Amino acid sequence: IAGITQAPTSQILAAGRRMTLRCTQDMRHNAMYWYRQDLGLGLRLIHYSNTAGTTGKGEVPDGYSVSRANTDDFPLTLASAVPSQTSVYFCASSAAGGNTGELFFGEGSRLTVL
């Protein structure tokens, strides 16, 4: 059982470059989320999608964009990476939208922007 798959696992990126983090789930969950995790700050919500075709902004959306063309995929794009976007990024999903259900997380993507 794969659950949620994220790619790449780790990436070093030059500032100003465009980068897409991929996230795919095979649980047919309606809701998907992107979080970033930084030391001392915990997990912060970047963007979310309650169902295919819809997206919404989280706590820290600036510099990021998402799309939800189908149920399974929820890519996160950094249009022009900056060093402050160095972080560990987690994709998550839940059966129910609205954060009233258990979140299932991917293994994370560690991004370093130089």
Q: Identify which of 9, 3, 40, 4 has the alpha carbon closest to the alpha carbon of residue 109.
A: 9
What does the per-residue mask of binding to another protein show for 81-100, with x meaning CB under 8 A? ---------x------xxxx
Binding of another protein by 48 (CB under 8 A): yes
Binding of another protein by 42 (CB under 8 A): yes
Shortest Å distance, C-beta 114 to another protein: 22
Distance of CA 29 to the CA centre of its chain: 15
Is 34 exposed, middle or buried (CB count within 10 Å of its CB: 0-12, 13-18, 19+)?
buried
Number of residues that bind another protein (CB under 8 A): 23
Which residues of the shown chain bind another protein in the complex (CB under 8 A)?
33, 35, 40-45, 48, 58-59, 90, 97-100, 102-108
